[in-house]
Amino acid sequence: MSTPAHKQTAPTENLTFRRFKEGDTRPEVWREQIFQASWSHKCPTYVHRTPPCQGSCPSGEDIRGWLGIARGMEKPPVGTDWQEYAFQRSTHANPFPSVMGRVCPAPCQTGCNRNVVEDYVGINAVEQFIGDTALQKNYKLAAPGPDSGKRIAIIGGGPAGLSAAYQLRRRGHACTVFDDHPQLGGMMMYGIPGYRVPRDVLQGEIQRILDLGVEVRFNTRVGKDISIADLEQQFDAILWAIGCKSGRRLPVPNSDAPNCVSGVDFLEEFNSQQKHAVPKKVVVVGGGDTSIDVASVARRLGYNYVAADQVKDTGHDNVSEGSEIGYVAHDAALLGIREGADVTLTSLFPIQNMTAAEHEVQDSLREGVKIHDSVVPLEVIIDAEGRATGLKMAKCTLDKKGIPTAIAGTEYVIDADLIVSAIGQYGDLGMGLEELNNGRGFIEADPFYQVKGRKGHFVAGDIIKPHLLTTAIGHGAIVADTIDRYFQQTEQVKRPKVDVRHFNLLAKLHEADLAPEEFVAEALEDLRGTASAKFAVHNYEDRSSMEVVAPTALFLGHFGFTPRNLRTDIPVSAEEVIGHFKERMQGLDERQAVQEAKRCMSCGLCFECDNCVIFCPQEAVKKTPKKEATTGRYVYTDYSRCIGCHICADVCPTGYINMGLGE
């Protein structure tokens, strides 16, 4: 089968990059050059742009920043080790680095410019190392700001609600999280199996947020146990982050059979330790990550071929803590009378185009899941008692909108004792929350995540539109900013085009005690010719909120073939899968994490390679004196010597130098 470009494995041979090919005699775009003999009127200036990894990150992390810290390019303040400094930089945007380093499908890696050289940077792997190290060393999140006197009710303790609680506490606002479960985490806790997100890791990252002073009310259903009106009386703002816990039924006849269930219900029952076995034949309809999780869990649980009343009640269904088998594994006696369930997963899309992560698809196949791709369900076959006995399928084609058309004559039936629909989700907006429903099972939001028509009400996460966990985390950060502006009674301002955390040169200069001097106009007799004045950062432009660096702006010839440092995959075979709930992946050690971080090309920001200094024929580009240098201020240009030859820009690996001064 073919593999999409963003899912390619590492190449097996060295690549050679050439900026110009045989026969090329002209620059790509003449208007950008404007040469006259050997000189031009343009001189270099230093332009900070956003790398595509950050531009692709829904939670808006400063990925280049914490990779730069890990590689040793950006130095931490005195008294802080690099791991903690990287953790603090990472958690400006995302308080769950250990969890997301494991389960995020990593759109950042899809966008990584290093894909043009040989293979993307293993961003997730380094993030997991940073997160795991933070838990081991008990690093704390940034302390709360001064108490603002404002109180926010956050409805839902999943990724969006907890992310918002963290960001709001940083601003000094009091937060109370209402959740209808006995534990926080939302889909991270009840939608993802423990062998993908170890529960001690998840609990540790949640506890750090609670340690900031976040109040929690467990087992509380807003609308039933407490009314919206009561919340409006008790709190200054309400944030709805209730997620989408209702799964969509199959849009075919008889899908209301009692043994047709949704993927979210199946996984919640399992993660609540209420599901301990599955029937012999399980069919899962989907193709995304949820469907893969359902199928893989079903294979692990197995089919109990001895009737329940024949098994002696041992009083519990789980092995003791510390068992070699792992999370929510089952009593050895029960495992001994189990066999592998026959699990089939069906997808509208060809297997190589399924939306699930490629490695998860391959793991499920190795574990014994059968995948039928390019097929569409037509009808649930039921018996005389109304229970499903099979699912009628057909091969299909998809139009440009992804709508399937069954191919006549290709119909067949998959026998089934249980059918699980994992084709989409919507919000549970009953029991007192009906007034929030937009008619499609979601809550309507404006561009600032304010609930339309309800002053003081805000919304974030899947209840707006189901997407990735990292998207919900990003919503939490943005809506916290919106709520903060609401409290200050300031106008909501349009979000930047590139709406992520950016490297802030002025903040870095302040941190390094290199901040510009105070600007006092009265003390300056003449403001002309201020290139050497100390009250400003000269010849530096920040376009990071507007522009993402393309690979064509980089001198890729600087980067040699360097294979990715891979996390160790711990494969589980079909014969071993029953009762196997241990984590399937071993993270990088410190040496590997640093080496992988060094593969980052630092797109859009100087990484101190010295190319511009070495290759300048006029010796116009010089290193900034050490006592004045920091990240982003490593070199400067002596414009009295510069002839505009463009060489420094041509050999800049990161696209940080632009020939723009003088336009």
User: What was the pLDDT predicted at 33?
Assistant: 54
pLDDT tens for each residue of 571-587: 899 999 999 999 999 99
Q: What CA–CA distance (Å, rounded) separates 103 from 469?
A: 9
- Indicate whether 291 and 157 sit together in one domain: no
pLDDT tens for each residue of 90-143: 999 999 999 999 999 999 999 999 999 999 999 999 999 999 999 999 999 999
Tokens of 445: 């939001």
Using an 8 Å Cβ cutoff, are 406 and 387 in contact? no
- Indicate whether 358 and 450 sit together in one domain: no
pLDDT band (50, 70, 90) for residue 86: very high
Q: Is residue 405 assigned to a domain? A: yes
Q: What percent of the chain has pLDDT over 90?
A: 77
Q: What is the mean pLDDT of residues 348-363?
A: 92
Q: What is the mean pLDDT of residues 545-570?
A: 93
Q: What is the mean pLDDT of residues 416-421?
A: 97
User: What was the pLDDT predicted at 321?
Assistant: 36
DSSP state for residue 96 in the 8-state scheme:
-
Residue with the two structure tokens 């997991």: 128
User: What was the pLDDT predicted at 306?
Assistant: 57
Q: What is the mean pLDDT of residues 508-512?
A: 91
- Indicate whether 344 and 208 sit together in one domain: no
User: What was the pLDDT predicted at 114?
Assistant: 96
- Indicate whether 396 and 260 sit together in one domain: yes
**Of the candidates 392, 409, 425, which is a domain's last residue?**
425
pLDDT tens for each residue of 99-114: 999 999 999 999 999 9
Q: Is residue 215 assigned to a domain? A: yes
- For the cut 50, the answer to whether the pLDDT of residue 2 exceeds it is no
175 membership: H or E segment, kind and range: strand 174-178
Q: Is residue 14 assigned to a domain? A: no
What 3-state DSSP class applies to 466?
coil
Q: Is residue 103 assigned to a domain? A: no
Pick 357 or 55 by higher pLDDT: 55
Nearest to 163 by CA among 197, 129, 187: 187
pLDDT tens for each residue of 213-238: 999 999 999 999 999 999 999 999 99
- Indicate whether 404 and 286 sit together in one domain: yes
Using an 8 Å Cβ cutoff, are 560 and 121 in contact? no
User: What was the pLDDT predicted at 308?
Assistant: 45
User: What was the pLDDT predicted at 478?
Assistant: 97
pLDDT tens for each residue of 487-506: 999 999 999 999 999 999 99
Q: Is residue 20 assigned to a domain? A: no
- For the cut 50, the answer to whether the pLDDT of residue 312 exceeds it is no
- For the cut 80, the answer to whether the pLDDT of residue 334 exceeds it is no
Q: Is residue 454 assigned to a domain? A: yes
- Indicate whether 421 and 432 sit together in one domain: no
- Indicate whether 234 and 156 sit together in one domain: yes
- For the cut 50, the answer to whether the pLDDT of residue 5 exceeds it is no
User: What was the pLDDT predicted at 325?
Assistant: 36
**Of the candidates 466, 488, 510, which is a domain's last residue?**
488
Indicate the pairing of strand 568-569 with strand 585-586: antiparallel
Q: What is the mean pLDDT of residues 443-455?
A: 95
Q: What is the mean pLDDT of residues 382-404?
A: 94
Cα–Cα distances (Å) from 10 to 90, 114, 118, 251, in that order, read 26, 11, 7, 40
Residues listed for the chain: 663
What 3-state DSSP class applies to 633?
coil
Structural domain count of the chain: 2
Largest pairwise CA distance in the chain: 96
User: What was the pLDDT predicted at 22?
Assistant: 76
User: What was the pLDDT predicted at 350?
Assistant: 95
Q: Is residue 265 assigned to a domain? A: yes
Q: What is the mean pLDDT of residues 272-299?
A: 94
Q: What CA–CA distance (Å, rounded) separates 632 from 75?
A: 12
Q: At what angle do helices 159-170 and 199-210 cross, to 10 degrees?
A: 30
Q: Is residue 318 assigned to a domain? A: no
Exposure class string for 239-266: b at 16+ Cβ within 10 A, else e? bbbbbbbbbbebebebbebebbbbbbeb
Tokens of 205: 């990252």
Cα–Cα distances (Å) from 592 to 68, 228, 254, 596, in that order, read 15, 51, 53, 6
pLDDT band (50, 70, 90) for residue 335: low
Using an 8 Å Cβ cutoff, are 386 and 413 in contact? no
Average pLDDT over the chain, rounded to an integer: 89
- Indicate whether 471 and 445 sit together in one domain: yes
Using an 8 Å Cβ cutoff, are 248 and 425 in contact? yes
CATH number, domain containing residue 196: 3.50.50.60
User: What was the pLDDT predicted at 13?
Assistant: 56
- For the cut 50, the answer to whether the pLDDT of residue 602 exceeds it is yes
**Of the candidates 488, 509, 526, which is a domain's last residue?**
488
Using an 8 Å Cβ cutoff, are 340 and 574 in contact? yes
pLDDT tens for each residue of 619-630: 999 999 999 999
Tell whether the torsion through CA atoms of 8, 11, 17 and 23 is positive or negative.
negative
Q: What is the mean pLDDT of residues 516-544?
A: 79
User: What was the pLDDT predicted at 16?
Assistant: 60
- Indicate whether 367 and 224 sit together in one domain: no
Pick 455 or 663 by higher pLDDT: 455
Q: At what angle do helices 63-71 and 590-597 cross, to 10 degrees?
A: 120
Q: What is the CA radius of gyration of the chain?
A: 28
- Indicate whether 357 and 264 sit together in one domain: yes
Q: Region of 450 please: left (phi>0), alpha (psi -120 to 50) or beta.
A: beta
Structural domain containing residue 394: 247-302+340-425
Using an 8 Å Cβ cutoff, are 566 and 126 in contact? no
User: What was the pLDDT predicted at 484?
Assistant: 97
pLDDT band (50, 70, 90) for residue 43: confident
Cα–Cα distances (Å) from 191 to 158, 247, 289, 313, 391, in that order, read 10, 12, 10, 28, 25
- For the cut 60, the answer to whether the pLDDT of residue 424 exceeds it is yes
- Indicate whether 251 and 376 sit together in one domain: yes
Cβ count within 10 A of residue 185: 24
pLDDT band (50, 70, 90) for residue 17: low
- For the cut 50, the answer to whether the pLDDT of residue 520 exceeds it is yes
- Indicate whether 295 and 415 sit together in one domain: yes
